[in-house]
Structures are given as structure tokens and as C-alpha cells.
Amino acid sequence: MGISNFIKRLGNSLATKLTIWFLLLSLLPIAVVVLFVGPVVNSELKDIEIINLDYRASGLAIVYDNLPQEILYQVISKLSGGQQKVFAMDSTGSYIAHYDISSINLSAYNDFEKSTIDEILAQKNGVLEKEGRIFAFSSSSSGAIVVVYVGNSVITTPIKKLHEEVFIKLGISLLIVSIAGGMVIWFLIGPVFNLAKAAEEVGAGNLDVKIDASEMEGELKTLAISFNKMVDDLKKSKGGLEKSNADLEKKVDERTKELQLKNEELEKFNKMAVGRELKMVELKKKINELEESQKKL
């Protein structure tokens, strides 16, 4: 029963409600990151990767015509590590340079969607997002189109990792701040909780309750002192009222005894008066009898 009452009081306490609100407000930075900062960061990182791809494609297109075939193949092979791939094709869509030398003279239409290759050939320079990839392409002076492409995961994976790191660090920071804030709230609201508990005891009739105001400050200390004074005044008032009640009861008892004595005296007087009346009646009867006797004589 005691535990259930404690849980009920804890759930209804101001400190608990303030702590919950503080925790909810502490989640606002995460919401801001998710709703506003996250999309901006994603867009910026994506733009940076697109710019880098565009620079690589443009740089390769510039030197494409001036590099020997063997060195060009080495450069393309070196740049085609991981998820990034590089190739060059002519105006018909056939590979004229490729990280896989066996693919040279084969058609790019075999490896990509027709619409993708058609757009690259039509635009000659630019960036294209299709097939879950980002293509950056640039045309050389000889008309060869150098293409550098990566999968979207090259961008999304670092972004996801960055989000996880940010959320973990931000979550830990907010947890620490929330715990510290909750402790401060409980520290500040604790005296108020004690005052509320003391008020309940006073309401139940216990006027011996005292609040220790020595460790309080400001308005709480003033409130505690005023509360103690109020309890003392109530105690004095109760004592005076009890004394007045006792005096009144004593006076009532004395008055009752006086009335009882007077009633007893009145009853005695009534008895005497009735007895006297009876004697008078009897005496009058005897007188009448004597008078009747004398008349007969």
C-alpha cells in the first residue's frame, strides 16, 4: 500500500512533471537536426560529391587527348577503385577507354539503360542521376566523352554514418544534460514537496509538524518560515479553543448543578405545600363535623 501511494504521489508530483517536460524539450535539438539540419547537410554533402565528380570528369577530358593510351589506361584504372568507375566513349556509345580493357570497342548500351547513354551523348557535359548512380561526364577536344560515375551509396553511406555519430553523441549529451537537469529540478522542488507533505499532515490534524528552513533560500525559505508560524498559530488557537471549551463545560456543569439544587428545593416546597393543603382540608372537615355536632345538641 505504501509503495502504491508513493508511486501515485510520484506520478502526480510537480517535480516528475517538470522532469518529463525537461526531457521532452531536450529532444527538440534532435528533432531540429532531423527535420531541418539533416536535409541541408545531406544536400550539401551530395553537392560536394557531385562537384568532385564533375571536376574529375572535366580534368580527365582536358588531358584525355594528350595522354598516351597506356598511361590513360593506368590513370583510368587507378581512378576506378572502389565504387567509382571511369570510362570514355565515342559519339556512338562505344567504349574507347575503359577500366576493364576487355570492354574497349564494346557498346555502353550493354551495361547501362539506353536512356542514360542517350542523355549523356546528347548533353556531352554535365551531371546525371539515374539507375541509382551519379554520372559526371565531359567532352574532350576530340569529341570523346569521359564519364566518371559512383553508386548513390558512396554518398548515402557516409551521410548515414555521420547521422549515426551525430545522433549518438547528441543523444549521450542530451541524456547527461537531462539527468543533470532532472536532479536540479528534484533538488529545487524537493522543499516544495516537503511543504506539501507537511500541509497534508496539518490537514490530518498533526500540528507538531515543522519545516526545516535552515537549508532553504529566497522565497522557499520565506514560505517555510510562514508555514511554521501558521502551524504555531493554529496550535495556539487550538489550545485556546480547547481551554475555552473546557471552561464552558465547567460552567455548564456548575449551572446544571445549581438548577438541579433549585429543582430539588422546588420539589420539597411543592411537597410541603401539598401536605399543608391536605392538612387544611382535613382540618376544615373536622371543623365542619364539630359545627354539625353542636347544632344537634
Q: Is 191 a member of any domain?
A: no
**pLDDT value, residue 7:** 47
Residue 186, amino acid: W
If asked whether residues 40 and 148 sit together in one domain, one would say: yes
If asked whether residues 157 and 258 sit together in one domain, one would say: no
**How would you class 85 by CB atoms within 10 Å of its CB: exposed for 0-12, middle for 13-18, buried for 19 or more?**
buried
Cross-strand bridge partners of residue 85: 149
Q: Is 175 a member of any domain?
A: no
- List, in sequence order, the alpha helices (H) in the chain: 2-12, 14-26, 28-32, 38-64, 69-79, 114-123, 153-203, 218-296
What's the length of the chain?
A: 297
**pLDDT value, residue 122:** 94
Question: Are 116 and 27 a contacting pair, CB within 8 Å?
Answer: no
CATH number for the domain spanning 89: value is 3.30.450.20
Give the residue from 107, 142, 168 where a domain finishes. Answer: 168
If asked whether residues 22 and 151 sit together in one domain, one would say: yes
Smallest CA-to-CA distance from 224 within 216, 233, 232, 236 is with: 216
Q: Is 163 a member of any domain?
A: yes
Q: Is 201 a member of any domain?
A: no
Residue with cell 555521420: 162
DSSP, collapsed to helix, strand or coil, labels residue 208 as coil
If asked whether residues 124 and 6 sit together in one domain, one would say: yes
If asked whether residues 162 and 224 sit together in one domain, one would say: no
Q: CB under 8 Å to 65, separation ≥6 — which residues? A: 140, 141, 142, 144
Q: Is 188 a member of any domain?
A: no
If asked whether residues 233 and 126 sit together in one domain, one would say: no
If asked whether residues 156 and 244 sit together in one domain, one would say: no
DSSP, collapsed to helix, strand or coil, labels residue 94 as strand
Buried residues in 181-218 as b, exposed as e (16+ CB within 10 A): bbeebeeebebebbbeebeeebeeeeeebebebeebee
Residue 12, amino acid: N
Residue-level pLDDT, tens digit, the chain, 297 residues = 445 554 455 555 656 666 677 677 767 766 766 676 667 777 777 888 889 889 999 999 998 888 888 888 888 888 888 888 999 999 999 999 998 889 999 999 999 999 999 999 999 999 999 988 999 999 999 899 999 999 887 777 777 777 778 778 777 877 787 777 777 766 766 777 777 777 777 777 777 777 777 766 777 778 778 888 888 888 788 777 777 777 788 888 888 888 888 777 777 777 776 667 777 767 777 777 777 777 666
Give the residue from 168, 191, 222 where a domain finishes. Answer: 168
Give the residue from 142, 168, 194 where a domain finishes. Answer: 168
If asked whether residues 27 and 96 sit together in one domain, one would say: yes
Q: Is 186 a member of any domain?
A: no
Q: Is 271 a member of any domain?
A: yes
The C-alpha cell that represents 263 in the structure block: 429543582
Total domain count, the chain: 2
If asked whether residues 163 and 213 sit together in one domain, one would say: no
Q: Is 187 a member of any domain?
A: no
Answering whether pTM is above 0.75, one says no
If asked whether residues 103 and 220 sit together in one domain, one would say: no
Residue-number span of the structural domain to which 131 is assigned: 2-168
Smallest CA-to-CA distance from 55 within 125, 120, 159 is with: 125
DSSP, collapsed to helix, strand or coil, labels residue 150 as strand
If asked whether residues 230 and 281 sit together in one domain, one would say: yes
Please state, in angstroms and as integers, the Cα–Cα distance from residue 114 to each residue in 93, 121, 250, following that order. Answer: 10, 11, 115
The C-alpha cell that represents 102 in the structure block: 576487355
Q: Strand 133-139 vs strand 126-130: parallel, antiparallel, or unpaired?
A: antiparallel
Interatomic CA distance for residues 256 and 250, integer angstroms: 10
